[in-house]
Structure 1
Amino acid sequence: MCVRRSLVGLTFCTCYLASYLTNKYVLSVLKFTYPTLFQGWQTLIGGLLLHVSWKLGWVEINSSSRSHVLVWLPASVLFVGIIYAGSRALSRLAIPVFLTLHNVAEVIICGYQKCFQKEKTSPAKICSALLLLAAAGCLPFNDSQFNPDGYFWAIIHLLCVGDLFSVLDFPFLYFYRFHGSCCASGFLGFFLMFSTVKLKNLLAPGQCAAWIFFAKIITAGLSILLFDAILTSATTGCLLLGALGEALLVFSERKSS
């Protein structure tokens, strides 16, 4: 069982790393600026893979009544917002910056649980939320590559995450690089979601949070080497503050589980 859990965790980390790096490559290096088409391509690939997985018996899809489908419509709209706004933000922001801003969604979820569900929140989790907010709040003032559009779409993205619990003419050589990368992005996006579900079903919340944190760290670190990212000492301080906040969140999750 321990080997299986480790294998699922490593698979998740690999999919997480590959998915973010591939998306960043398509959106930034290849300068693909049509997130709606990008989203449609990912949804098509994901839908086909989901159908194949269902036929092979890897996943179970229960038929739902129309009323059940209507209940999921708001979540579907938020999911579209997550992909669209996330694509816009990721094309303009460095991956470490994007992930630090993305972590604010945890604060929204924590606030909702405390205010509306009246869940008891540990001091460690409260401190974690404050550190994540501080890190994200300081970034716009210390980011040497500050892009207002990127931050705007990142805010829309994290709000959607928190609330949810165009054909082009390409040069000949560019055509294969683009479609290969987009296809890889669709496959990796599906397997990332699939491995995330397996991770959450198999591991305790604290262990799951630890694997997610580890995936973010290696993704952010490797992205600095692969993409053009200018990190000043102030920006690095904000990113480290965010990492400290998320590490504290992992500690609080492991302690409560």
Structure 2
Amino acid sequence: MQWRRHITGLAFSFVFIVSYFTNKFVLSVLKFTYPTLFQGWQTFIGAVLLLLCGKLGWVEMSRITRSAALSWLPGSFLFVGNIYAGSRALSRIDIPYFFTLQNSSHVVGYIIIKLLYRENTQWLKFSGICLILLSAICLPLCDPQFDYSSYLWAVCHLLSVGSYRVFQVHNKSSNLSDFEQQCINYLFSVFLLALAAHPTGDFMGALEFPSLQSHTFYCGCCASALLGFFLLLATVKLKRGLSLVHLEVWVFMSKVTAMFLSPFIFHMDFNTRSLSCVVISHVGEALLVYSDRDSHL
């Protein structure tokens, strides 16, 4: 029934917003800037919960063959780049600016598809891509709290997100479900981030972290891990219950809501020019969603 679809979408939107706010709180307010440990913890809990749910039959997961796992490893590399660079960027960039830069992953995906698959593009979609690219280029010049290293991590993040999105759609070498793909991502991430924790100095730095004895810190870390897993469940359920275009609509609405609420929760420095970049970027994203809707009619 239609009302059930709306409930699923609202649940997805709620988890999406709270998940980003929780991650932002731990990374920025509590200043836990050790992404190998933070993301390693999230992916470890996600892997445990996903394998447990698969074992109990709560989610549909088949046995993953070695060949299927190996064929998905490039996607897992991109997933690790996505979450690691995303944590680095989100720790110092306000949520509206972060989403504005993240939108540029659509530009990355567009370029890859154009170069590799020669797909035709509607003028409406091309207009949206141009607006997103323009706002991302102008934002560093307008952001009153511009930080070079944070924007560099944001670029790594959007490159990973855009490449992963294309790989997920066009990789036909393995018939893996969404849960199976994410299970490989989780397990590979735990392994890779655990190896990187000591060389990057995150492990030793975390031992001296001032808030290590704080209940707020542990609650925030636990909540972030659980919310990440719930977001996966909500995303897959929404994708299976509705079309991909409807999922894009709910993601867009969730991001807009999160940007509207974030100044009431986190401190932000903004000006008219930076807000204009945010608005232009999401007008461009709205055009992309609308053009995808037309192409599926």
Q: Same fold (TM over 0.5)?
A: yes
Q: Equivalent of 1:233, from 272, 289, 294?
A: 272
Structure-1 residue corresponding to 2:87 = 87
Provide closer, same or farther for how the CA distance between residues 171 and 33 of structure 1 changes in structure 2, counting only shifts above 3 A: closer
Task: List per-residue Cα deviations over 1:41-78 (Å, max 9, x = no partner).
Answer: 10111112102221232212222322222112221111
Counterparts of 2:81 and 2:212, CA distance in 1: 32
Provide closer, same or farther for how the CA distance between residues 109 and 170 of structure 1 changes in structure 2, counting only shifts above 3 A: closer
Matched, 1:115 2:115: yes
Structure-1 residue corresponding to 2:286 = 247
Contact between 1:42 and 1:189, CA under 8 Å: does it hold in 2?
yes
Q: Equivalent of 2:228, from 176, 186, 189?
A: 189
Matched, 1:11 2:11: yes
Aligned-residue identity in percent: 48
Contact between 1:132 and 1:241, CA under 8 Å: does it hold in 2?
yes
Letter in 1 for 2:11: T
Provide closer, same or farther for how the CA distance between residues 111 and 173 of structure 1 changes in structure 2, counting only shifts above 3 A: closer
Within-5 A mapping of 1:145-224: 145-165=145-165, 166=203, 167-169=206-208, 174-224=213-263
Matched, 1:139 2:139: yes
What are structure 2's unaligned runs of at least 5 residues?
166-202
Counterparts of 1:90 and 1:31, CA distance in 2: 11
**How far is 1:115 from its partner?**
3.0
Task: List per-residue Cα deviations over 1:146-171 (Å, max 9, x = no partner).
Answer: 01111000000111111112142455
Structure-1 residue corresponding to 2:53 = 53
TM-score by length of 1: 0.95
Contact between 1:205 and 1:254, CA under 8 Å: does it hold in 2?
no
**How far is 1:223 from its partner?**
1.0
Matched, 1:63 2:102: no
Counterparts of 1:178 and 1:211, CA distance in 2: 30
Counterparts of 1:12 and 1:204, CA distance in 2: 15
TM-score by length of 2: 0.83
Contact between 1:206 and 1:255, CA under 8 Å: does it hold in 2?
no
Runs of 4+ displaced beyond 4 Å: 169-174
Structure-1 residue corresponding to 2:193 = none
SS at 1:92's partner residue?
A: coil
Counterparts of 2:284 and 2:210, CA distance in 1: 45
- Larger CA deviation: 2-11 vs 54-63: 54-63
SS at 2:117's partner residue?
A: coil
What are structure 1's unaligned runs of at least 5 residues?
none
Counterparts of 1:170 and 1:64, CA distance in 2: 39
**How far is 1:110 from its partner?**
2.1
- Larger CA deviation: 246-255 vs 149-158: 246-255
Structure-2 residue corresponding to 1:41 = 41
**How far is 1:194 from its partner?**
1.7
**How far is 1:183 from its partner?**
0.5
SS at 1:62's partner residue?
A: coil
Counterparts of 1:54 and 1:9, CA distance in 2: 23
**How far is 1:119 from its partner?**
2.2
Contact between 1:92 and 1:149, CA under 8 Å: does it hold in 2?
no
**How far is 1:172 from its partner?**
7.2
The alignment yields a C-alpha RMSD, in angstroms, of 1.5
Provide closer, same or farther for how the CA distance between residues 169 and 175 of structure 1 changes in structure 2, counting only shifts above 3 A: farther
SS at 1:152's partner residue?
A: helix
- Larger CA deviation: 204-213 vs 13-22: 204-213
- Larger CA deviation: 53-62 vs 98-107: 53-62
Task: List per-residue Cα deviations over 1:82-133 (Å, max 9, x = no partner).
Answer: 1110000000100000001001111111222233222221111110000000
